[in-house]
Structure 1
Amino acid sequence: MLLAIDIGNTHIVTGILDKNGEVLLTFRVASNDKLTEDEYFSYLRNISEFNKIDIKNVEGIIVASVVPNLITIFQFLGKKYFHIDPMIVGPDIKIPFTFAPNLNPTGFGADRIIDIVQSLNDYPDKNLVIFDFGSATTYEVLEKTVYVGGGILPGIEMSINALFANTAKLPKVKFSTPESVLGKNTNEQIQAGIFYGYAGQIKHIIKKIKEVIDNPFVVATGGLGKILSAEIEEIDVYSPDLSIKGLYTLYLHNKK
């Protein structure tokens, strides 16, 4: 089995996959660099046992992180409990795509790499647009196996939190599909504005990409991507386990 760990700014998504790359379990905990490797292992052990998965069968570990401090903690976890040096997604790892000559890939996020790797694996020979709706929303654009550019914008929850934090009376609402674009009270109006406003942003970004990229296939992932994908017909597929499967694919690519 492979233990795949995707560390984001808000959550750590952990996946356990079998030797064929089938996802047996995924779960998320808060990203917190104050926790120790022992505390994170406790989460892993308890949730795995509850799901009747024996983590003693883990033979490999791969970690992608946008929070540098947490990489060390999971390196300690791998060595202490599994006697494994985790593979770290970083600048030295082999990737199955290249960057266009006019781009500067310095600092390119590990989370973005694994999304691209799995999208190329699942949809070869296509021009790709990949949206990841996380703490920040990112999009990547590839012409076949060449990364030609992308973008970053505030995530949905970040937008909701900013509205709540910078106003005196507006409440914090949960992101969900509103009943109507015409909200009947303050909560409904915030939900309508955020939902349709964000969907409109994504639709327009895809429209502009299609002006420069021929017939792209649009992939979406991330916790809130499912809700938006149902509204945005320009998104071709929603892939909830894209990052975890990308870690598995990248692990095999480098293990060889």
Structure 2
Amino acid sequence: MLLAIDNGNTNVKFALVDAEGTIVQRWRIATDAKRTADEYAVWLDRLLEMEGHSRSAVTAVVIASVVPRALHNLQELAQKYFKVDALIGGRAPVEWGIALKVDEPKALGADRAVNAIAAQALEPGDKIVISFGTATTFDHIGADGAYLGGSIATGVSLSLDALYNAAAMLPRIAIEPPPGTSVIGRDTVSQMQIGIYWGYVSMIEGMIARMKAEIARPVKVIATGGLAPLFQRHADLFDRIEPDLTLKGIALLYANRDQGS
């Protein structure tokens, strides 16, 4: 089986992928550039055992990383404990295989590239991919699968942290929709909930509308990330939600490695 690793800014996500490309197990751990290969191995060994798997079942490791300082220890994990050399997304033999039609293609985050690959496999035509993570990103994927650009906004959790850390009298609150649909709160907590939730809904709606107007062709909206269902619950924003979009893109990188992609 393939071990797909999505090394993100907030979490490192691991997935076991079978020969048919199906994700059979997934786990996550907080990103820490200082976490050693040995620590990853102890943690993964226990999880593999709990789900009835063993290290020997893993025959390949592919990593998509946006945290360069954490990459070495993940590569060491593959070499020391899985006895394979990890393949790195964007480098031969798992190059992106899609056109990156932007001014600085080398600066594009690996997560956004693999999201584009997965989105192209899911939907024909033009796509807008919205990813809710440390940042909230909006990406345009062309009908031919090319990455055509996008935008980056502050992530929801970062916005809440900024409010809490910078304003002495504001409490720390959970990310959740406020009760009802009113956007006029009567107390501090409800006002914060309204500002974050409906403020982000308005931003998402506005960005989708502007991108659709600029693309000027039929387009599907695909969302990924843990907060996507929360925003979809009270506002019909997306055509589909794909929680494993990034991991699926990593699996496709490996599956297409012999096709010159």
Separation of aligned partners in 1, 2:103 and 2:231 = 30
Separation of aligned partners in 1, 2:91 and 2:137 = 19
Separation of aligned partners in 2, 1:27 and 1:137 = 22
Separation of aligned partners in 1, 2:257 and 2:218 = 31
**8 Å contact 1:132–1:220 — kept in the other structure?**
yes
- Deviation for aligned residue 1:143: 2.1
- Deviation for aligned residue 1:96: 3.5
Unmatched segments (≥5 aa) in structure 1: none
Q: Which residue of 2 aligns with 1:131?
A: 130
- Deviation for aligned residue 1:255: 4.1
Task: Give me the identity figure in percent.
Answer: 32
From 208, 211, 215, the counterpart of 1:209: 211
Separation of aligned partners in 1, 2:46 and 2:187 = 42
Deviates more, 1:227-236 or 1:68-77: 227-236
Secondary structure of the structure 2 residue equivalent to 1:177: coil
Regions of 4+ moved over 6 Å: none
**8 Å contact 2:137–2:150 — kept in the other structure?**
yes
Separation of aligned partners in 2, 1:64 and 1:95 = 11
1:95 and 2:96 equivalent?
yes
| Counterpart AA for 1:97 | I
RMSD after superposition: 1.5
Separation of aligned partners in 1, 2:258 and 2:30 = 29
**8 Å contact 1:103–1:149 — kept in the other structure?**
no
Q: Which residue of 1 aligns with 2:139?
A: 140
Alignment of 1:1-256 (within 5 A): 1-90=1-90, 92=92, 93-100=94-101, 103-123=103-123, 125-144=124-143, 145-180=145-180, 181=182, 182-213=184-215, 214-256=217-259
Secondary structure of the structure 2 residue equivalent to 1:40: helix
Q: TM-score, normalised by structure 1?
A: 0.94
**8 Å contact 2:114–2:246 — kept in the other structure?**
yes
**8 Å contact 2:90–2:96 — kept in the other structure?**
no
- Deviation for aligned residue 1:82: 1.1
Separation of aligned partners in 1, 2:244 and 2:78 = 22
Q: TM-score, normalised by structure 2?
A: 0.92
**8 Å contact 1:7–1:66 — kept in the other structure?**
yes
**8 Å contact 1:115–1:130 — kept in the other structure?**
yes
- Deviation for aligned residue 1:11: 0.6
Name the CA shift for 1:127/1:78 in 2 (closer, same or farther; >3 Å): same
- Deviation for aligned residue 1:184: 4.3
Name the CA shift for 1:128/1:200 in 2 (closer, same or farther; >3 Å): same
| Counterpart AA for 2:213 | E
**8 Å contact 2:34–2:70 — kept in the other structure?**
no
| Counterpart AA for 1:161 | D
**8 Å contact 2:127–2:221 — kept in the other structure?**
yes
Deviates more, 1:140-149 or 1:128-137: 140-149
- Deviation for aligned residue 1:99: 2.7
Separation of aligned partners in 2, 1:146 and 1:78 = 31
The number of aligned residues is 254
| Counterpart AA for 1:20 | E
Secondary structure of the structure 2 residue equivalent to 1:84: coil
- Deviation for aligned residue 1:52: 2.0
Secondary structure of the structure 2 residue equivalent to 1:16: strand
